[in-house]
Amino acid sequence: MRASILGVEKPNIDTLERKTLMKLRIALITLCLVAPASLRSAQPSSVLPPDQAAQETATFLRDLVRIDTQDPPGNESKVALYIAAIFRREGIPCEILEPVPGRASIVARLRGTGAKQPLLLLAHEDVVPVDRAHWTVDPFAAEIKSGTLYGRGASDDKGPLAAHIETMLQLHRSGRRLSRDVIFLAEASEETDSTAGMHTIVDRYWDKIACEFALNEGGSAEVKDGRIAYFGVATGEKLPRGVRLVATGQSGHASIPVLDNPITHLAQAVTRLGTWETPTRLNDTTREFFSRLASIAPPDQAALFRSLEDPATERILHEKWPLFYSMLHTTVVPTVLKGGFKSNVIPAEAEAQIDIRALPDENIAAFYAQMAKIIDDPSVTIVPPDLTNNMPAAPSSSLHTAMFAALEASQQKLLPGAITIPTMSTGATDSAFLRAKGVDAYGIRIPRTFAENEGVHGNDERIELQYLALYQRLVQEAIEQVSQ
């Protein structure tokens, strides 16, 4: 492996003293913000052929995985500085955004002709924590086995981040001016809410990332028996709107049972919500998703996908394809129970946490009111979340844009045996903040197997490097097509 951008075997910034790190940060920020004439003095490399671009992308990913950005605490500034050094070397203007010390994002821009509105490439720098006891490899060594790279963040979200870096380099090296600006954003604090995250970036720095289209994580592309049947583009996503249930009642000695027991109130409320079948609701994305999926499915499955509002189909989906079931419902799932402190004491209060994933057009106030009717117990209070920094309500992105068409055309060029399908993400991403600003944001993903899916937020997270390269080529191809 070649030397990294910072001139060491890998970006081991953890070993630097605090003063040295601060000097490095200041130096790189200065280099990113120098006048355009100075930037033009940097000599960009030549456009790389696909095999060399794939190798360079893999090198970037190895370096990124080796930078530990478990959130909390994040420490994403290490990644921002690493990327800044790459862009500075190639002469790409960039800027460090650090609203919280140590938690920096980085934004860069390739100027187009301005004939069309900008496009944003987005990926986050932080990763979820690791339980090392359950990994078979070092989660931050970026070990490669049989063409597969292992490490925390390989899929979520440093693989796409590495590919986006390579895409910016390849577009810049070509010397060609596209019809629109291409903006790069590597953002901090996606995995947990903080004032360093997308809420702050959109609120404070919108002028730096304002765009017509955005490409972000999400979507789906399942590998089965070495084949990709469909390429899923996320045009919408469900939003986290979880609540706390607080049950109150009469405390006392457990030897004297009372009817007003908070534990009993809570248990009944949780049971009612946990078995509540919320209504099936289709929207433009899910209607088209199942329609296109039926076109490539075996006859028995295709029949199910064409009768989604049949109660019998709903039960089958819930049992066999819970992901598909979730795409059609605002889901309510009990996840945490808290109550009591001693086996012979009836507590005065008990609490449960309920994970709610709302469909994009859900009237959440009305939904909470319906929950209260389902619970039907005045001793149980529903406590909504503080949505200050949470995902805003936003409509789904359109299926009828130049960006969606470019993604579909790029898929057909690079994966002619597959089809493009719009998907509804059951998890949440920072695309919600962009959609709330009127941006058509689309989620795409590096193809992976079902087994590899389990590593995302789990153990032995990994991606196959051949699919990382494919993802990078697809992103670049789509940008070039939509920016002609």
**What does the pLDDT look like over 202-235, one tens digit per residue?**
999 999 999 999 999 999 999 999 999 999 999 9
Q: Is the model more confident about 22 or about 320?
A: 320
- Provide the pLDDT for residue 391: 83
Residue-wise pLDDT tens digits, 266-305: 999 999 999 999 999 999 999 999 999 999 999 999 999 9
Q: Collapsing DSSP states into helix, strand and coil, what is residue 250?
A: coil
Q: In what order do the strands lie in the sheet with 144-145?
A: 144-145, 148-150, 462-464
6 pLDDT band, cuts 50/70/90, is: very low
Question: Does residue 391 sit within a domain?
Answer: no
Cis amide leading into 73 (omega within 30) = yes
Can you give the pLDDT at residue 8?
30
Q: Using CA atoms, how far apart are residues 402 and 479, in angstroms rounded to an integer?
A: 10
In a domain, 397, yes or no: no
In angstroms, rounded to a whole number, what is the distance separating the alpha carbons of residues 26 and 14? 17
**Domain CATH for 325:** 3.30.70.360
402 within domain boundaries: no
Of 427, 395, 232, give the one whose Cα is nearest residue 327.
Answer: 427
pLDDT tens per residue across span 343-368 = 999 999 999 999 999 999 999 999 99
* One domain, residues 92 and 168: yes
- Report how far apart, in Å, the C-alpha atoms of 36 and of each of 32, 42, 67, 174, 275 are: 10, 10, 30, 18, 61
Domain assignment present for residue 192? The answer is yes
Q: Which one of 383, 404, 437 terminates a domain?
A: 383
The domain boundary residue, chosen from 383, 404, 433: 383
Strands (E) in 268-342, as ranges, are 331-339
Task: Determine the structural domain holding residue 313 and report its residue range.
Answer: 237-383
- When the pLDDT of each residue in the chain is averaged and rounded to a whole number, the result is 91
The pLDDT of residue 192 is 83
pLDDT score of 31 more than 80 = no
Tell me how many degrees the CA angle 113-444-216 measures, rounded to the nearest 5. Answer: 60
Output phi, psi for 249, to 5 deg.
-175, -155
Residues 279 and 336 placed together within one structural domain of the fold = yes
Task: Check pLDDT > 90 for residue 68.
Answer: yes
67 or 12, which is more confident? 67
Q: Residue 20 above 80 pLDDT?
A: no
Under DSSP, is residue 125 helix (H, G, I), strand (E, B) or coil?
Answer: coil
**pLDDT bracket for residue 22 (50, 70, 90):** low
Instruction: Select the more confidently predicted residue: 245 or 24.
Output: 245
* Whether residue 349 is found in the same domain as residue 474: no
pLDDT at 25: 54
Band (pLDDT 50/70/90 cuts) for residue 389 is: low
Nearest to 220 by CA among 430, 402, 428, 443: 443
> How does residue 44 score in pLDDT terms, banded at 50, 70 and 90?
low
Residue with tokens 């800027």: 95
Q: Is the pLDDT of residue 111 over 90?
A: yes
Q: For residues 83 and 139, state if they share a domain.
A: yes
Q: What is the pLDDT of residues 419-431, one digit of tens each?
A: 999 999 998 899 9
Q: Band of the pLDDT at 390, cuts 50, 70, 90?
A: confident
Bond from prior residue into 72 cis (ω within 30 degrees of 0): yes
Q: How many angstroms separate the CA atoms of 110 and 248, rounded?
A: 58
Strands 103-110 and 419-425, how do they pair?
unpaired
> Residues 168-211: pLDDT tens digits?
999 999 999 999 999 999 999 998 878 999 999 999 999 999 99
Q: Tell me the Ramachandran region of residue 40: left when phi exceeds 0, alpha when psi lies from -120 to 50, beta otherwise.
A: alpha
Strands 144-145 and 239-240: unpaired
The answer to whether the CB of 308 falls within 8 A of the CB of 279 is no
Does some domain include residue 393? no
How confident is residue 309, by pLDDT bands cut at 50, 70 and 90? confident
Residues 311 and 224 in one domain: no
Answer yes or no: do 248 and 195 share one domain.
Answer: no
* AA letter at 344: N
Instruction: Report the 10 Å Cβ neighbour count for 219.
Output: 23
Number of independent structural domains in the chain: 2
Give the model's pLDDT for residue 393.
87
Task: Single out the residue of 105, 111, 75, 77 nearest to residue 92, CA to CA.
Answer: 111
Q: Is the pLDDT of residue 7 over 60?
A: no
Same domain (yes/no): 337, 242: yes
Residues 60 and 142 in one domain: yes
CATH number of the domain residue 135 falls in: 3.40.630.10
Residues 466, 431 within the same domain: yes
Give yes or no: residues 92 and 28 share one domain.
yes
What's phi and psi for 405, nearest 5 deg? -65, -40
Q: Is residue 196 assigned to a domain?
A: yes
Q: What are phi and psi of 220, to 5 degrees?
A: -160, 150
Predicted confidence at residue 4, as pLDDT, reads 31
Task: Copy the structure tokens of residue 255.
Answer: 């030897």
**Does 166 lie in the same domain as 23?**
yes
Inside any domain, residue 400: no
* pLDDT at site 43: 55
pLDDT score recorded for residue 213: 98
CB atoms within 10 A of CB 9: 12
User: Model confidence at 387, in pLDDT bands (50, 70, 90)?
Assistant: confident
Which residues are CB-neighbours of 7 under 8 A, at least 6 positions away? Answer: none
Give yes or no: residues 33 and 121 share one domain: yes
Where does a domain end: 329, 357, 383? 383
Q: How far apart are CA 102 and CA 59, in angstroms?
A: 24
Q: d(Cα 421, Cα 221) in Å, to the nearest integer?
A: 10
Cβ burial, residue 409 (10 Å; 0-12/13-18/19+): middle
**Edge-to-edge, what's the strand order for the sheet holding 419-425?**
94-100, 103-110, 182-187, 119-124, 213-216, 440-443, 230-237, 419-425
- Tell me the per-residue pLDDT of 425-477, one tens digit each, with 9 for 90 and over: 998 899 999 999 999 999 999 999 989 998 999 999 999 999 999 999 999 99
Residues 411 and 396: their CA atoms lie apart, in Å, by 21
pLDDT of residue 359: 95
Residue 295 is assigned to a structural domain of this protein: yes
For the whole model, what pTM was predicted?
Answer: 0.88
